[in-house]
Amino acid sequence: MTSREKILANIKANQPDLRPLPEQYTFVSTFPDLTKQFIDVLTFVGGRALVVPDYAAIRADLQAQYPNLKSVATTIPELADLADRTMTVSDPHELADLNLAIIEGPIAVAENAAIWVDEQQLPQRVAPMITQYLVIVIRQSTLVPNMHDAYKQLKVDTTGFGTFICGPSKTADIEQSLVIGAHGARSLTVYLLP
């Protein structure tokens, strides 16, 4: 018998009688204002959120936040003029000196400020972690109240990789003091278009 067969045989012999899945495993969250809820939570986890009317407003804010920053890449055509390089590389190591990545998020969750991105938004999986600073552009119309709603809309295996991102990378491993910018991006700015 292989280990696989032994393990599966032991499991079969030892598992209890079948118990049904629960009928209720999704719940409804009601927030008076999804955008406000999202912004409050994102701010709480150390991110920065800005409601903007259009790409011109995003461009203006980015130019003010990161003047003269080099090694900027974006996948958003409307902001292409801000970029001086691409994230579309064959070897992810080429992104090692990426300073700013500007990407889109197709679905965002109000309850916890998590934004879904997958390989439809990411030319390289490592882009949102390896970059020094991260910007995600979302649309208020794509905000869903909670995680159950997000999973209802998502097909998690559409691409080979997808992740919920909530705020900048952080750690509290040294005496429980919060430090922003562990291994991933040192900051996260989210622009909310209508």
Partner 1 sequence: MNQLNLDHASAAVEFNKDEPRVDWHDETLWFVRTKRDRAAAQLPEWEQLREAASQIKNHVLSNMHDLLAQFEENAKQNGITVHWAENADEHNAIIHKLIQDAGVTRMVKSKSMLTEECHLNDYLTRHGIEVIDSDLGERIVQMRKEPPSHIVLPAIHLKKSDVGETFHEHLGTEKGATDPQYLTEAARQHLRDTFLTRKVALTGVNFAIAETGGFVVCTNEGNADMGAHLADVHIAAMGFEKIIPRAEHLGVFLRLLARSATGQPITTFSSHFHRPRPGQQMHIVIVDNGRSRQLGRPDFRNSLKCIRCAACLNTCPVYRRSGGHSYHSAIAGPIGSILAPNLDMKLNADLPFASTLCGSCSNVCPVKIDIHDQLYKWRQVLMKEGYGPGSKTAAMKAMATVLESPSLYRVAGKIGRGVLRFTPVLAENRFNPWYNQREMPEPPAESFRDWYINNKKV
Q: Which residues within the stretch 125-144 sit at the binding site for partner 1 (CB under 8 A)?
A: 125-126, 129-130
What is the closest distance, in whole angstroms, from the C-beta atom of residue 81 to partner 1 in the complex? 28
CA distances from 192 to 105, 126, 145, 179, 189 (A): 10, 23, 15, 26, 10
The yes or no reply on residue 185 touching partner 1 (CB under 8 A) is yes
The yes or no reply on residue 75 touching partner 1 (CB under 8 A) is no
Rank residues 140 and 159 by Cβ distance to partner 1 and give the closer one.
159
Closest C-alpha to 192, from 129, 142, 121: 142
Tokens of 74: 């974006």
CA angle 41, 47, 51 (to 5 degrees): 80
The yes or no reply on residue 89 touching partner 1 (CB under 8 A) is no
Q: Residue 176: how many CB atoms within 10 A of its CB?
A: 6
Q: Residue 158: how many CB atoms within 10 A of its CB?
A: 10
CA distances from 25 to 20, 28, 86, 104 (A): 12, 10, 42, 29
What is the closest distance, in whole angstroms, from the C-beta atom of residue 67 to partner 1 in the complex? 23
Q: Which stretch binds partner 1 (CB under 8 A): 2-10, 51-59, 61-69, 81-89?
A: 2-10
Rank residues 121 and 124 by Cβ distance to partner 1 and give the closer one.
124
Residue list 103-122, contact with partner 1 (CB under 8 A):
111-114, 118
The yes or no reply on residue 51 touching partner 1 (CB under 8 A) is no
* Partner residues linked to 73 by β-bridges: 85, 101
Considering only 72, 168, 189, 190, the residue that binds partner 1 (CB under 8 A) is 168
Q: Residue 23: how many CB atoms within 10 A of its CB?
A: 5
Rank residues 53 and 152 by Cβ distance to partner 1 and give the closer one.
152
Residue list 7-46, contact with partner 1 (CB under 8 A):
7-8, 10-22, 24-27, 29, 41, 44-45
